[in-house]
Structure 1
Amino acid sequence: MASETETSAGIEDGVRRRDFINIAAVSFAGVGSVAVVLPLVNQMNPSADVLALSSTEIDISAIQPGQSIKTSWRKQPVFVRNLVPAEIAEANKVPLSELRDPETLAERTKVGKENWLITLGVCTHLGCVPLGAAEGEPRGDFGGYFCPCHGSHYDTAARIRKGPAPKNLVVPPYDFTSDTVVTIG
């Protein structure tokens, strides 16, 4: 009778050992698969130089009311404009029915920061860089921007008002990281 107990205990131990070996083999194969796949997936991530260009920080503390600057993001010009109350009022009084691409100034700016208008400096007609961001440049018939290539006129909210451009100047994704720093991208 003792031999029957030993045999059944031996079979039980054998099954347990076999299960352990199977689990260990599958675990080892899983770890090996991850070790092979991880570098393949990781090589598809953008490189450090591409990530560096994906966003840019701008210090806006030196931009006085009524002034604007040109900077760049993703190799495209960006206009950052500090609107004065008169420009904001002028943009808000324009009926949306008069606009080719109807957008309010509030839709083009951040809540609480309505005086900061940030747009790509690329005309939506054929990609020229409009004038009006630098001191002394012509601002067109509506006091915003003027594209010298084909005569598109933008208002103080960078909305198309006259000329061949089909859309307003594009507002890129941006956030205020502090009262004086804007991150674009």
Structure 2
Amino acid sequence: MATSTGTPQGNAVAPEAGENGVRRRDFINIAAVSAAGVGGVATLIPLVSQMAPSKDVLAESTTELDISSIEPGQAIKAVFRKQPVFVRNLTQKEIDEANAVPLSILRDPQTLAERTKEGHHNLLVTMGVCTHLGCVPLGAAEGENKGEYGGYFCPCHGSSYDTAARIRKGPAPSNLVVPDYQFTTDTTILIG
């Protein structure tokens, strides 16, 4: 007498299909996860791209200057990130004066060589912002007061900087800041 196990034959085939191939439930799970991933990426792309700087901000992130017309002893003012920048072509006398100052008497000790680029020790590039309270020092334009050390003078509170733009007198705590810059040619610098 034949006995029945009580399970229909249709169910006996299902485990074989599951062992050898992808079940329908697995396919639905994969499709749902994939759709969620694509939706997540589609949501993140505009979110991340709106955080990128705009074209006008990128344009102001660097400043290129032609320095070929700056005569020895002369300085120019430029703008970098909406702040003034001073570029001075030092004379040999100004270089000698800066190098003669003992570092031990400086509030913020730096040599002129540390503040300029190799091979261009006569070209000093600094931000034109006093390190005390952010005023714009005098001394870059012709005829302006350069202070008692021949560099820059801040009219707001009397800080005096020497020919290497190092603080020598007054309330400013540190030297004028030298921004990141590089020479792209012998007569062109790129600030930023």
Bin for the TM-score computed over the shorter chain: 0.7 to 0.9
Q: Partner letter of residue 51 of structure 2?
A: M
| Cα shift at 1:79 | 0.4
Deviation per CA, 1:112-157, whole angstroms, max 9, x where unpaired? 2211111111112222211111112121111111122222211000
Deviation per CA, 1:74-94, whole angstroms, max 9, x where unpaired? 221110011122211211111
Map 1:11-26 → 2, pairs under 5 A: 11-12=18-19, 14-15=21-22, 19=26, 22-26=29-33
Instruction: Give ranges in structure 2 of 5+ residues lacking alignment.
Output: 1-12
TM-score w.r.t. the length of structure 2 is: 0.83
Asked if 1 retains the 8 angstrom alpha-carbon contact of 2:76 and 2:140, the reply is yes
Map 1:113-152 → 2, pairs under 5 A: 113-152=120-159
Asked if 1 retains the 8 angstrom alpha-carbon contact of 2:17 and 2:23, the reply is no
Aligned partner of 1:92 among 86, 99, 120? 99
Map 1:150-161 → 2, pairs under 5 A: 150-161=157-168
Instruction: Give ranges in structure 1 of 5+ residues lacking alignment.
Output: 1-6
Asked if 1 retains the 8 angstrom alpha-carbon contact of 2:63 and 2:80, the reply is yes
Aligned-partner SS, 1:177: strand
Q: Partner letter of residue 136 of structure 2?
A: V
| Identical positions, percent | 73
Q: Taking structure 1 as reference, are residues 111 and 12 closer, same or farther at Cα in structure 2, changes over 3 Å only?
A: same
What's the RMSD between the two structures over aligned residues? 2.3
Map 1:39-58 → 2, pairs under 5 A: 39-58=46-65
Deviation per CA, 1:144-176, whole angstroms, max 9, x where unpaired? 111222222110000011122221111112122
Q: Partner letter of residue 102 of structure 1?
A: P
